[in-house]
Amino acid sequence: MMARIQSLIFYAAAMALLLLAYHVATSFAFAIVDEGYRYMEPALQARETLLLDTRRSTITELKTDDLIAYRTIYRSKPMRMFGRVAALPGMTISVRKERLIVEGADVAPAGKDLDVLRTGLMVPRETVFVVFDSPLGQRVSLPQRLVPYRNIIGRMAGK
């Protein structure tokens, strides 16, 4: 009897471990920052390994200041980029005196490419607006900064 119970417990545990492993494998991923990607220095360094939370619920519940990895086409090439969420869907972003203003709060410096935001812009549905920690990131254009949920790979866990 005990042996049967032990056997059942063993198989149940094995099944549970398999399911857990599957869940972890589909919910998280590792990403390595590309060599030469400097838009997020000093927060992210080149060739740094990051753990990404790729769950759909995480992506739809992003908060400002979250660091994300996303797919984009940059200079006609598919590319993976990393950025910091500055505004969520429905928020209004604008630029005043070369500073990015989100819902009235000054959040980051703004480059010349964002001058069109003088009179304000609403972040579209299921899209986030990202900024970059490094001044090099200021050259990224407006459409490149509006990242739809479907292009987001995941949120950086632990950052």
Residues at the interface with other proteins (CB under 8 A) = 3-4, 7, 11, 73, 89-91, 113, 116-119, 121-122, 124-125, 127, 141-143, 146, 148, 150
Q: Which residues contact 68 (CB under 8 A, 6 or more apart)?
A: 62, 82, 83, 84, 85, 128, 130, 147, 152, 153, 154, 155, 156
Query: Closer CB to other proteins, residue 48 or residue 115?
Result: 115
To other proteins, the closest distance from the beta carbon of 92 in angstroms equals 8
Minimum distance, C-beta of residue 3 to other proteins, in the bound complex (Å) = 7
- For residue 159, the minimal CB distance to other proteins (Å) is 27
CB 52 within 8 A of CB 30: yes
